[in-house]
Structure 1
Amino acid sequence: MALLDSLPRHLFSSRGWGLLAAGAVSLLCAQVMGRRDLLALGVLLVVLPLVSLAGIRVVKPRFRVYREFSPSTVETDSVTTVRLAVARTGLGTGRVIMEERLPPRFGESPAFRFPARSASGGTSRYEYHLRSGKRGQVTIGPVSAEFTDPFGLSLHRHSIDDGDTLTVTPAAVELPPTGLAGARGNDGITATRTRANPSDDDVMTREYRHGDPMRRVHWPATARHGALMVRQEESVTTPEATVILDHRFVAHSSGYGSVFGSPGEDGSDLVTSDTFEWAVTAAMSVGAHLAELNYSLRFLDAAGEPAFHRSTSAPEPDSEEYSGAAGLQSIAESLAAIQLTGPHHARRDHDTGRREHAGNADAAQSVFDDRLMDKLAAHRMRGPVLALLGKISLAEARALAPAAGYAANAFAVVITDKPADCHDVLEALRVGGWRAVAVEASTSLPAAWMYFDEGEAAMWTAAADVRRGAEVGR
């Protein structure tokens, strides 16, 4: 029995190997004893497993697989339920052993038998649960099935579907209420200065611009000024917020081992780092926090492009504006598979001390330039701007500094391994009008958020509270 167990299991079952062994012994005995009946028995015992092996590979049972995730997208560290429905669509009988192939992060792959005991209408239904501690898009499946012939002599395993993609989004961290978002009403809507019943003298006017509807022409003002004038109505508007997410490889890599992740067999690993993961969580958390306050959101990268245009999980990669619950869900899905971009090697300029992309000396000049400034100027003073940056150079900080002039409030978070080395960068941003802070990947996000309201002391107090909470939890 131990010998049979050591034989390959992908061709014959233990019964099949046993018949082959018995057939070989019968043929040997027929040769020694000269018995024709032993010869016929030996040939039968050898041929039967071989015929069953050929038959099971030529006539493959066919199945249809339906897979559903509930919820369809799941946050990190949350549970999603996977429901499988398997139905036989071709000829075939007998029981089949099936296995749902899972990425290594989920542990052991679940196995089950078809048909299930509770099968109805020829369809067997199965259910299991998954939890992922990392964001990304992962392939769940395919289902592989191990078939046997009616006599249970041979085995054959192959995939019966292509699998489905599960999107794991970063979980938002609850942020404390602060004054960071600026003045707003109770429902997050900016206050209007238009009076309820304005008289002609109260109406604000401006010169007619091409495209203005004629119904807005204010004729008394037109008569006074001798030129077409239109009413300038200040209506209630939804405030806007802009998030600049720096996802350059050079900004989030500080040395060997700082960046991790490479494409695996399931294509699920992302090129990322601890500092970039902090930035992704911050982007999700700030987006959720401001969306609750009825803000519309814009996400840009360091070059002024849509922040998610290279994210493989983005439903609308070329979009940069989001609003409402649907917009927040789109942001979450876009952040699921976003990763570091740009050349994946950096060198240090020994003359200037500035990090540059290897083979791309112009890379540093393409960020925080006129394209980004034009995007911010188009929405001048309509709300706050939050920049989530990696380690940037002093020249880059000086290039970004004037952008604060286009925002009602400007906040910058520099995520780096050595915050103490960022004094000059922070000072350059602050001179331009930014409220800036440097943090480590281990810094509490709520603490960094509170810093903008209450200063550095509040940040360290909140961080201490988080540490005490973690110690109590242990």
Structure 2
Amino acid sequence: MLSCGVVIAVLGVGLSTPILVYIGVAMVCAVAVAYVWVLLAVDSFLRVFPRARRDVTPHPLTAGRPGTVTVAIEAGRSSRPGRGRVGRALADHLDIREQAAAELTGGMGTKATVTREPGRLELTYSLHPSRRGRWPLGPSLIHSSDPFAMFLADTPVGEAQHVPVWPAVVDLSATAGALMGHADRIVLGARTPSPDDSSLRDYREGDDLRRVHWPSSARRGTMLVRSDERAGRRPASVILDAPREPVALEWAISAAASIAVSVLESGHPVRLIGGGIDPGSVRHLGDRGSAAARIELLDQTVDLASPVSRAAATADVVRSASLAATDAIHGEVTVAVVNPLEKAAIDALVPIGDSGRAWAIVRADAPLEQDARDTVRALRRAGWRAATATSGDDLEALWSRMLTAGEME
């Protein structure tokens, strides 16, 4: 329209036709007025509503479970009264949209309910997270235009934030107690318990100082604590071998997290090892299934990613096995969710199987079925209770069969 107005005005001057000049000038002025209108509308709105506060419930989200977002766009305290009235009047005619990653909306658009109050705009909409991870949400976009709809503007309000999404967790708490009880029966069935049925291990952050064995600590020069094998809070380690395929990765992380959370909620300390988790940050979590420990455990899974190569995955399993082997000797239960393993990884897991308190789920997606069966046989020879599973298997049914049957193909 601007170009046409200029051309018509020039033609009018050239042809000495005032009516064309008037039309051309009117068209140019209309565009200029529309442009200034949009600039003033956006500027006035941002001065009155300079910030947006976003609340996500629950936080963090869980894959497969819906959540709710409330975005409050509020007037600034320093807004002048006159400008505030103008801004609020403009706000009544502005469209507001929210931006969200497809992983948070399940691939669908967001449809928000907008509530307008004096000095405040509020958007409420639902999220349907489909994948574990950390995904962007926001900023809100203010869609404005002039009365002639010649200029359109999408202006961001507030800042974007990254929302963490936990993996889907299957409730295995009913069988987690059976797992820990079965481990106790293995130990107590092997020998007659004595009055002092305990061993010593290195002190970990969070251990009760009353369990420190001071004479041995003085001799060794490092703090040692008593680890009672018959105590009701036998610890457990869950080893994760992260697959390289995206679908298999999510299934493996979900399986490992489900087992770890269920053990935690049954009243036993647990730690998650491998999968890219920093070995230096690994520690046992849990105090009678505390909510804080559950949050910390699931937070560890949010940023996990596939290994860069099979060699890197094998090295990660070897490190994890070395970390778990020492505590397995002193009565710790070990559960591994792994892919078909190289010989180096199997050799590293062998010492853990000697304790008689080791379970493994080996992924057997096509075309890995034969390699998975070979891994299961090797682990069973080493004393593990192992089973194959695919990414489409029901984890709860698989886990129940493992604990009731002991071994399965």
Question: Do the structures match in fold with TM over 0.5?
Answer: yes
Tell me if 1:83 matches 2:70: yes
Taking structure 1 as reference, are residues 124 and 52 closer, same or farther at Cα in structure 2, changes over 3 Å only?
same
Taking structure 1 as reference, are residues 102 and 207 closer, same or farther at Cα in structure 2, changes over 3 Å only?
closer
1:390-433 Cα shifts (integer Å, max 9, x gaps): 1212343133212223x451011111223344343222212221
Aligned length: 354
How far did 1:193 drift?
Answer: 7.2
Taking structure 1 as reference, are residues 364 and 319 closer, same or farther at Cα in structure 2, changes over 3 Å only?
closer
How far did 1:146 drift?
Answer: 2.1
Name the CA distance, whole Å, in 2 between partners of 1:384 and 1:125: 50
Counterpart residue identity of residue 181, structure 1: M
Taking structure 1 as reference, are residues 232 and 29 closer, same or farther at Cα in structure 2, changes over 3 Å only?
closer
How far did 1:172 drift?
Answer: 1.7
1:296-354 Cα shifts (integer Å, max 9, x gaps): 1011117xxxx5339xxxxxx824322122111222232233221233xxxxxxxxxxx
- What TM-score does the superposition give when structure 2 sets the normalisation length? 0.73
Residues 68-467 of structure 1: pairs in structure 2 closer than 5 A: 68-89=55-76, 91=83, 92=87, 93-94=89-90, 95-105=93-103, 106=105, 107-110=107-110, 118-149=115-146, 153-175=150-172, 176-177=174-175, 179-182=178-181, 208-211=215-218, 238-247=233-242, 252-253=243-244, 259=245, 272=246, 274-301=247-274, 308-309=277-278, 318-323=281-286, 324-343=290-309, 357=311, 363=312, 366-369=315-318, 372-378=321-327, 380-405=329-354, 407=355, 409-417=357-365, 418-455=368-405
Structure 2: state its 5+ residue gaps: 185-192, 197-212, 220-225
1:37-64 Cα shifts (integer Å, max 9, x gaps): 6524532431341354257458734131
Name the CA distance, whole Å, in 2 between partners of 1:233 and 1:25: 94
Tell me if 1:43 matches 2:25: yes
Name the CA distance, whole Å, in 1 between partners of 2:376 and 2:157: 57
How far did 1:379 drift?
Answer: 5.7
Counterpart residue identity of residue 43, structure 1: V
Q: Secondary structure at the match of 2:281?
A: coil
Q: Secondary structure at the match of 1:298?
A: strand
Taking structure 1 as reference, are residues 134 and 408 closer, same or farther at Cα in structure 2, changes over 3 Å only?
same
Name the CA distance, whole Å, in 2 between partners of 1:413 and 1:427: 12
Taking structure 1 as reference, are residues 391 and 210 closer, same or farther at Cα in structure 2, changes over 3 Å only?
closer
User: Residue in 2 aligned with 1:203?
Assistant: none
Report the structure, 1 or 2, having the larger helix content. 2
Name the CA distance, whole Å, in 2 between partners of 1:440 and 1:232: 36
1:196-233 Cα shifts (integer Å, max 9, x gaps): xxxxxxxxxx9933449xxxxxxxxxxxxxxxxxx999
Counterpart residue identity of residue 68, structure 1: D
User: Residue in 2 aligned with 1:227?
Assistant: none
Q: Secondary structure at the match of 2:340?
A: coil
Counterpart residue identity of residue 182, structure 1: G
Identity score, percent: 22
Name the CA distance, whole Å, in 1 between partners of 2:256 and 2:314: 24
Q: Do the aligned residues in 2 keep the contact of 1:139 with 1:164 (CA within 8 Å)?
A: yes
Counterpart residue identity of residue 259, structure 2: V
Q: Is 280-289 or 37-46 further displaced after alignment? A: 37-46
Taking structure 1 as reference, are residues 37 and 370 closer, same or farther at Cα in structure 2, changes over 3 Å only?
closer
Taking structure 1 as reference, are residues 156 and 88 closer, same or farther at Cα in structure 2, changes over 3 Å only?
farther
1:76-104 Cα shifts (integer Å, max 9, x gaps): 22110111111344654522222112223
How far did 1:237 drift?
Answer: 5.8
Q: Do the aligned residues in 2 keep the contact of 1:298 with 1:321 (CA within 8 Å)?
A: yes
Counterpart residue identity of residue 266, structure 2: L
Name the CA distance, whole Å, in 2 between partners of 1:235 and 1:241: 14
Counterpart residue identity of residue 134, structure 1: R
Q: Secondary structure at the match of 1:321?
A: coil
Name the CA distance, whole Å, in 2 between partners of 1:56 and 1:290: 59
Name the CA distance, whole Å, in 1 between partners of 2:399 and 2:298: 20
Name the CA distance, whole Å, in 1 between partners of 2:397 and 2:284: 27
Structure 1: state its 5+ residue gaps: 1-16, 186-191, 196-205, 213-230, 254-258, 260-271, 311-316, 344-355, 358-362, 461-474
How far did 1:122 drift?
Answer: 0.9
Counterpart residue identity of residue 145, structure 2: T
Taking structure 1 as reference, are residues 402 and 26 closer, same or farther at Cα in structure 2, changes over 3 Å only?
same
Name the CA distance, whole Å, in 2 between partners of 1:296 and 1:42: 79
User: Residue in 2 aligned with 1:219?
Assistant: none
Q: Secondary structure at the match of 1:43?
A: helix
Taking structure 1 as reference, are residues 211 and 167 closer, same or farther at Cα in structure 2, changes over 3 Å only?
same
How far did 1:120 drift?
Answer: 2.3
Taking structure 1 as reference, are residues 77 and 422 closer, same or farther at Cα in structure 2, changes over 3 Å only?
closer
Q: Is 71-80 or 375-384 further displaced after alignment? A: 375-384
Name the CA distance, whole Å, in 1 between partners of 2:403 and 2:227: 34
Taking structure 1 as reference, are residues 319 and 53 closer, same or farther at Cα in structure 2, changes over 3 Å only?
farther
Taking structure 1 as reference, are residues 338 and 87 closer, same or farther at Cα in structure 2, changes over 3 Å only?
same
Q: Do the aligned residues in 2 keep the contact of 1:20 with 1:49 (CA within 8 Å)?
A: no
Q: Secondary structure at the match of 1:119?
A: strand
Name the CA distance, whole Å, in 1 between partners of 2:229 and 2:283: 25
